Amino acid sequence: MTSTTGTTTGPDPETGLRTDELVAALYRDGIVARPGAFSPAWADRLREDVEAAFEEARSRPDGAVGRGPHRFYVEIHPEQLRGFVDLVEHPWVRQVCAGVLGEDYEIVELGFDIPFAGAVNQPWHRDFPAPEATRRDRRLTSLAFNLTGVDTAEDMGPFEIAPGTQFDDGADFDHEMFPPRSVYGRYEQLAVRKHPRRGDVSARSALTVHRGTRNFSEKARPVLVLGVDAPGAGNAEHHDMAVTRAYWEQLPERVRAHLRCPVVDELTPIAQKHTIEGLVMGDA
């Protein structure tokens, strides 16, 4: 069943979860996932596009930003990802976006994180300070969708998250993002390591306290990031995503309705500015 705007409102055909159940799970845990949303072959194309974008970004100043030793983040334009429309049009992605953020949700960020061999544990952190709507009203106003480019093994530095911490106040965190080491024990007790496979997709609040872990393998672990806001959340101003007019005209109307970025004659390579200084040195 779909609404008049095309948003999925009935149960997900694979998970069997209704929108209200997905929203409740995300509000409870700070993260939900949809295994097998895409085929492994689709994920392999994703990895190829990410690897090509990383090589281009590393060839110029400010093309990639460090997120710790041997770990980088790169923001890209939608046209650099062949599967962009597949991703944002996936029924589960639309179901979660509309259910959590409202029918007028806004796509504001596209990028990827790559921990290479030698990447170390990041400090526990959230991606930005909690907005007033979350502090005061316990309302989530943004989501980060993650898709892995590889089947994640334990020695590859899995993503680690502390479920339920999206509503931690954070006023005493360093920069309102980094909890003091004196409370690390709590996050370590709550911590769950994620081992997604190619084709899986997850959605989380960027406020849920998390970290990347040490990569003991010789393999890179690229992960795509799609950032989505509720109207007025304001995260678009921190990103420089754009599309060309020719690409815009080919997009489905439903995608254009949610895409919040400039439409330009020619794309300009993105100079990374979404720096999280506390991650640069890594942790233990």
pLDDT value of residue 31: 98
Instruction: Please give the residue range of the domain that contains residue 199.
Output: 23-279
Residue 201 pairs in a beta bridge with: 34
CATH code of the domain in which 79 resides: 2.60.120.620
Residue 238 is given by DSSP the state G
What was the pLDDT predicted at 233?
Answer: 83
Strands 223-229 and 106-115: antiparallel
Residue 64 domain-assigned? yes
* 9 located within any domain: no
pLDDT digits (tens, 9 = 90+) for 145-177: 999 999 999 999 999 999 999 999 999 999 999
What pLDDT is recorded for position 131?
94
Residues 171-193: b if buried by 16+ CB within 10 A, e if exposed: eebeeebbbeeeeeeebeeebee
Beta carbons of 141 and 227 less than 8 angstroms apart = no
pLDDT of residue 99: 97
pLDDT, residue 14, reads 60
Question: What's the pLDDT at 10?
Answer: 67
How confident is the model over 192-234, as pLDDT tens digits?
Answer: 999 999 999 999 999 999 999 999 999 999 999 999 999 998 8
CA angle centred on 84, ends 197 and 271, rounded to 5°: 100
pLDDT in the model for residue 3: 34
User: Which has more confidence, 269 or 187?
Assistant: 187
C-alpha of 68 from chain center:
17
**Can you give the pLDDT at residue 238?**
80
Going along the chain, which residue ranges are E strands? 31-34, 65-66, 71-75, 106-115, 142-148, 159-161, 192-194, 201-204, 210-212, 223-229, 243-244, 263-264
In a domain, 4, yes or no: no
Supply angle C-alpha 259, 30, 14, rounded to 5. 75
Evaluate whether residue 12 is within a structural domain.
no
How many domains does the chain fold into? 1
**Between 172 and 6, where is the model more confident?**
172
- CB-based contacts of 246, cutoff 8 Å, min separation 6: none
pLDDT band at 6; cut points 50, 70, 90: very low
Report phi then psi at 6, rounded to 5.
90, 5
Sheet with strand 192-194: strands edge to edge: 192-194, 159-161, 210-212
pLDDT in tens, 58-113: 998 888 888 889 999 999 999 999 999 999 999 999 999 999 999 999 999 999 99
Q: Is 17 within the bounds of a domain?
A: no
Domain-embedded: residue 197? yes
More confident of the two residues 271 and 159: 159
CA angle 26, 241, 198 (to 5 degrees): 50
Percent of the chain with pLDDT over 90: 81
For residue 109, the SS3 value is strand
Tell me, yes or no, whether 46 lies in a domain: yes
In a domain, 65, yes or no: yes
Instruction: Say what the pLDDT of residue 279 is.
Output: 65
Q: Is the separation of the CB atoms in 70 and 284 below 8 Å?
A: no
